[in-house]
């Protein structure tokens, strides 16, 4: 009998999961594993925890639902708070695993772990990795290699929209026959304290009052698309600042793979067919293409996305002023609009798209502080942190990425336009 293992990373769902579908198709029995790797909770060179309390809580909720959903397929999920490369090789040996299925990752830290695991195990074990976090599959884009991905998003978008069809979602496997599969799984999901955090209550002002998990992602789509039909006015409201209704808020579930970009795309298409098709419904797809683009940029440029010169290798003068850093983080700058947004992220782990662009522009273009400090702070705090979108957007807003116009935001004008009655600033700045 062959035993397959799904090594879960940022693909924490059972629907439209190529690794899971293939594992169930090719093996008599299937197991799953997830690591709360201590490295993910350590301090980075910039002085912030790689994963802060907000994303940690969301992740715990996500893994809780994943474990329950896998039970419905008769697949046990083993959970360890161990260094992946130290523990996974002995696990593969202990359970006589012949095939390992995972989502394909290409950023350096993830690659290093996968390489180390492969070095420690028998060559007979097959590792099968799938590009499963894209809207446009990398094999389908109209470029012969990733180096041809253009410098400007619009060119990429237009060419892909004209030439690429979004693939259908992969089928959810049928429950496996576990007649001869008797496994004792005593592993438990860690709580916040186990991961080094105190329990905390959610701030009542948050624009992201949601929990982690695949079922929660589906619930949000049901609510945002079908119950409120807010999708039909997405482009008009997406620059909002207060409350959960102004945007889809799907980014956190997309980031850890509780839902796939393809699932969102095909749900939009269904909405367009059954309810309405307009510029607003298209705009959500437009945003998914932006998300793809930053993934292709990191595929093209590798570690340059983490370098101070960015993908443009610009030699700019950057400051490292401790006082400026402290004032920016605590929301004590001379710009009330920046302060309100920074207080929001510190209290909730979330910030609007409009807010993110303004605080990043202020940090990098006004204060001329090392943009990577800002990116690392966001990495720590954001519930919806995605390595490619976060570092890609920070490069873009800091003049070392994909913005051909190298824009600088006029913060006061932005505040007047997007918070004209100062409701958002009052919400976060009042005593």
Beta-ladder partners of 128 = 101
The DSSP secondary-structure symbol of 130 reads E
Residue 131 marked ligand-binding: no
Type and span of the H or E element at 5:
strand 3-7
For β-strands 126-130 and 99-103, DSSP reports them as: parallel
By C-alpha distance, which of 274, 294, 257 is closest to 387? 294
Cα-Cα end-to-end distance for the chain: 65
Is 247 a known ligand-binding residue? yes
Q: In residues, how long is the chain? A: 431
**Residue 131 · residue 104 · CB < 8 Å:** yes
Distance (Å, rounded) from C-alpha 370 to C-alpha 373? 6
Q: Annotation-wise, does 234 bind a ligand?
A: yes
250 marked as part of a ligand binding site: yes
Backbone dihedral angles phi then psi of residue 136, each to the nearest 5 degrees:
-95, 115
Helix (H, G, I), strand (E, B) or coil at 349: coil
Does the annotation flag 386 for ligand binding? yes
For residue 421, say whether it is annotated as part of any ligand binding site. Answer: no
DSSP secondary structure string for all residues of 269-322: HHHHHHT--SHHHHHHHHHHHHHHHHHHHHHHHGGGGGSTTGGGT-----B--H
Cα separation, 4 vs 31, in Å, equals 6
Strands 29-35 and 77-80: parallel
Helix (H, G, I), strand (E, B) or coil at 215: helix
Q: Point out the annotated binding site for FAD.
A: 234, 247-251, 384-386
Q: Point out the annotated binding site.
A: 234, 247-251, 384-386
């Amino acid at each position: 009998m062959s035993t397959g293992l799904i090594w879960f990373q940022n693909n924490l769902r059972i629907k439209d999961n190529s690794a899971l579908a293939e594992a169930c198709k090719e093996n008599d029995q299937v197991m799953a594993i997830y690591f709360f790797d201590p490295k993910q909770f350590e301090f980075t060179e910039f002085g912030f925890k790689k994963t802060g309390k907000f994303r940690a809580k969301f992740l715990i909720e996500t893994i809780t639902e994943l474990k329950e959903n896998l039970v419905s397929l008769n697949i046990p999920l083993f959970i360890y708070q161990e260094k992946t490369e130290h523990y996974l090789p002995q696990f593969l040996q202990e359970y006589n695993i012949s095939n390992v299925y995972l989502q394909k990752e290409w950023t350096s830290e993830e690659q290093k772990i996968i390489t180390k695991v492969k070095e420690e195990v028998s060559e007979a074990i097959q590792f099968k990795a799938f590009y499963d976090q894209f809207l446009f599959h990398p094999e389908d884009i109209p470029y012969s290699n990733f180096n041809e991905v253009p410098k400007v998003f619009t060119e990429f978008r237009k060419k892909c929209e004209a030439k690429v069809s979004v693939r259908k979602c992969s089928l959810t496997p049928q429950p496996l026959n576990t007649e001869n599969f008797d496994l004792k799984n005593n592993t438990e999901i860690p709580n916040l304290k186990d991961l080094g955090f105190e329990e905390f209550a959610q701030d009542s002002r948050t624009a992201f009052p949601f929990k982690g998990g695949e079922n929660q992602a589906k619930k949000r789509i049901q609510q945002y698309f079908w119950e409120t039909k807010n999708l039909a006015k997405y482009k008009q409201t997406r620059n909002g600042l207060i409350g959960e209704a102004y945007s889809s808020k799907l980014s956190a579930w997309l980031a850890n793979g509780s839902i796939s970009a393809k699932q969102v795309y095909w749900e939009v298409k269904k909405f367009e067919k059954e309810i309405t098709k307009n510029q607003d419904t298209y705009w959500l797809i437009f945003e998914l293409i932006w998300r793809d683009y930053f993934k292709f940029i990191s595929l093209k440029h590798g570690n340059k996305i983490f370098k101070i010169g960015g993908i443009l290798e610009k030699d700019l003068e950057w400051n490292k002023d401790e006082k400026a850093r402290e004032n920016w983080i605590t929301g004590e700058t001379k710009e009330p609009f920046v302060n309100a947004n920074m207080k929001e992220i510190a209290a909730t782990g979330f910030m609007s798209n409009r807010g993110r662009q303004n605080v990043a522009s202020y940090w990098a273009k006004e204060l001329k502080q090392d943009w990577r400090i800002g990116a690392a702070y966001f990495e720590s705090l954001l519930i919806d942190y995605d390595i490619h979108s976060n570092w890609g957007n920070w490069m873009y807003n800091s003049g070392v990425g994909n913005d051909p116009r190298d824009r600088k935001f006029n913060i006061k004008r932005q505040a007047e336009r997007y918070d004209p009655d100062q409701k958002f600033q009052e919400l976060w700045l009042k005593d």
